[in-house]
Amino acid sequence: MEYSEKQVQIMEKAEKLFAEKGFDGTSVRDISEAADVNVAMISYYFGSKEKLMEAMFHHRGQDLRIQLENIIHNKGLTSLQKVEKLIDDYTERIFKKQFFHKIMIREQMVNNAGPIAKQIFLLKQTNQVLINQLISEGQKKGDFKKNIDVSLLMMTLVGTTSQLVTAQHFYKEIHQLQALSDEEFEKLIRKKLSHYLKVLFKAILVYEG
Amino acid sequence: MEYSEKQVQIMEKAEKLFAEKGFDGTSVRDISEAADVNVAMISYYFGSKEKLMEAMFHHRGQDLRIQLENIIHNKGLTSLQKVEKLIDDYTERIFKKQFFHKIMIREQMVNNAGPIAKQIFLLKQTNQVLINQLISEGQKKGDFKKNIDVSLLMMTLVGTTSQLVTAQHFYKEIHQLQALSDEEFEKLIRKKLSHYLKVLFKAILVYEG
DNA sequence: GTTTAAATTAAACGTTTGTTTAAATTTGCG
DNA sequence: CGCAAATTTAAACAAACGTTTAATTTAAAC
């Protein structure tokens, strides 16, 4: 199923507003105003505000899955290089889709059984299975040490990135970087984060404590 | 300023609801029902729903600051032991006040200039300064390596913990731990998290890559 | 016991909410 | 063009929202 130009326009404006003010903090009139359409168009195109959110998850759902298969099956890379590529891919993906990522963070806090919670769960599960593969491969080769808690490692990847994305204005202020433009600042923290996570993962995966 | 028994009762019920459904997703009637008081009591005691939230931050604000001074000035501990104690204190504190912590995660996403955002910023800043002290002390002693990005290290601490707290139902399902009681499960993940973070911090702080 | 203040209540307030309606306009097609 | 379907509109809808009101009950002080 594809979405028309108008539908995408509404979804993208809604995405920004949901990220900033939350689902319940955003009214359909806020969305219609931002998307420059009549209020009724949201019901007309999506059925309801709730279903607009679901459509958004469907629309973005494709982009979410880390392209891990490509990384895992790339014969030219060492296990550690694969992990480093995973970090680059993941952080880039999150920063590019930060509005949607913020919405996901909010939604995963709500422990319900709706279709959105299901989609988030499936995504997490799939990523976990693939990262499990990647780590065990490195362990078999002797590149990584044993006793790695992959779940917690994932939480560090996801959590550290989320923390930087959601609290970036705090980071900006604490480090006195207000002079930087948004683009410069984002470029800076992305680079710092990526480098930091690579050092961190290497330390965890290969350091014999 | 102190809060009466009734005020605390309202704040604690509101805390749970705000954590689960968000500020805008929770109505004053939800709160009054949960706290078993009349709707008007919220305005009567706090002035407004917004001010109830501010009172909650004031009420919990005390508990938030990590008792870092005590740790830092404890002469009997090595730098690494201090970091380990910091991790124990922090994770215990977050798990004990997880409702409030979830509210903070939501609120820090909203980049406004209100009193709540200010309080979160001050808290982060204070903690950062103190952890900076702790790390530099270890570096001077030669226990920790140079070039530590303390901001990102804090984000890993906060982010990993947040991720586990907010996505614990996913963790439960993925690891097939539904049979465990809530208490048993929480005890398990707290122990795992604390141990994992200690290994991680040690690896980052002392591993010469 | 009477008085005064604090606490509690049910009801009503005016807005805002998400959604629907029915009419008007635009679009695509023969 | 002429007609039908799709789109867009302003208006209206009931329900829920946060807050206020005014009356009542409870508690405390004298």
Task: Tell me the residue type at B208.
Answer: E
Whether the CB of A39 is less than 7 Å away from nucleic strand C comes out as yes
Answer yes or no: are the C-beta atoms of B42 and B27 closer than 8 Å: no
Per-residue confidence (pLDDT) for residue A1, from 0 to 100 = 57
Per-residue confidence (pLDDT) for residue B149, from 0 to 100 = 93
Per-residue confidence (pLDDT) for residue A111, from 0 to 100 = 72
Shortest Cα distance, chain B CAs vs residue A4, angstroms: 30
Q: How confident is the model at residue B207 (pLDDT cuts 50, 70, 90)?
A: confident
Asked whether the beta carbons of residue A25 and residue B21 sit closer than 8 angstroms, the reply is: no
Per-residue confidence (pLDDT) for residue A63, from 0 to 100 = 74
Asked whether the beta carbons of residue B203 and residue A199 sit closer than 8 angstroms, the reply is: no
Name residues 35-94 of chain A within 8 A of B (Cβ). Answer: none
What pLDDT digit, counting tens, does each position of B186-197 carry? 999 999 999 999
Asked whether the beta carbons of residue A156 and residue B156 sit closer than 8 angstroms, the reply is: yes
Task: Tell me the residue type at A166.
Answer: T
Per-residue confidence (pLDDT) for residue B69, from 0 to 100 = 82
Shortest Cα distance, chain B CAs vs residue A56, angstroms: 20
**pTM of the predicted model as reported, rounded to 2 decimal places:** 0.93
Give which of B127, B125, B119 is closest to B58, Cα–Cα: B119
- CA dist A179 and A78 (Å) reads 40
B23 vs A: CB within 8 A: yes
Per-residue confidence (pLDDT) for residue A86, from 0 to 100 = 94
For chain B, the average pLDDT equals 93
- CA dist A117 and A58 (Å) reads 12
Q: Which two tokens stand for residue A191?
A: 């680079």
A21 vs B: CB within 8 A: yes
Per-residue pLDDT of chain A (209 residues; tens, 9 = 90+): 588 999 999 999 999 999 999 999 999 999 999 999 999 999 999 999 999 999 999 999 877 776 788 888 888 999 999 999 999 999 999 999 999 999 999 999 987 788 999 999 999 999 999 999 999 999 999 999 998 999 999 999 999 999 999 999 889 999 999 999 999 999 999 999 999 999 999 999 997 66
Residues of B in contact with A158 (CB under 8 A): 159, 163
Burial class (CB in 10 A: 0-12, 13-18, 19+), B57: buried
**B170 has pLDDT over 80:** yes
Per-residue confidence (pLDDT) for residue A208, from 0 to 100 = 66
What pLDDT digit, counting tens, does each position of B108-122 carry? 998 778 889 999 999
What pLDDT digit, counting tens, does each position of B68-100 carry? 888 888 889 999 999 999 999 999 999 999 999
Shortest Cα distance, chain B CAs vs residue A167, angstroms: 6
Q: How confident is the model at residue B1 (pLDDT cuts 50, 70, 90)?
A: low
Per-residue confidence (pLDDT) for residue B209, from 0 to 100 = 61
Which of A109, A164, A169 has the CB atom closest to B155's CB atom?
Answer: A164
CA torsion B91→B25→B7→B49, rounded to 10°?
120
Per-residue confidence (pLDDT) for residue A207, from 0 to 100 = 79
Q: Which nucleotides of D are covered by protein (CB under 7 A)?
A: 7-12, 16-22
Per-position DSSP letters for chain B, written without gaps between them? ----HHHHHHHHHHHHHHHHH-TTTS-HHHHHHHHTS-THHHHHHHSSHHHHHHHHHHHHHHHHS--HHHHHT-TTS-HHHHHHHHHHHHHHHHHHTHHHHHHHHHHHHS---SHHHHHHHHHHHHHHHHHHHHHHHHHHHTSS-S---HHHHHHHHHHHHHHHHHTHHHHHHHTT-TTS-HHHHHHHHHHHHHHHHHHHHHHHHH---
Whether the CB of A42 is less than 7 Å away from nucleic strand C comes out as yes
- CA dist A165 and A158 (Å) reads 10
Whether the CB of B44 is less than 7 Å away from nucleic strand C comes out as yes
Asked whether the beta carbons of residue A166 and residue B105 sit closer than 8 angstroms, the reply is: yes
Per-residue confidence (pLDDT) for residue B113, from 0 to 100 = 80
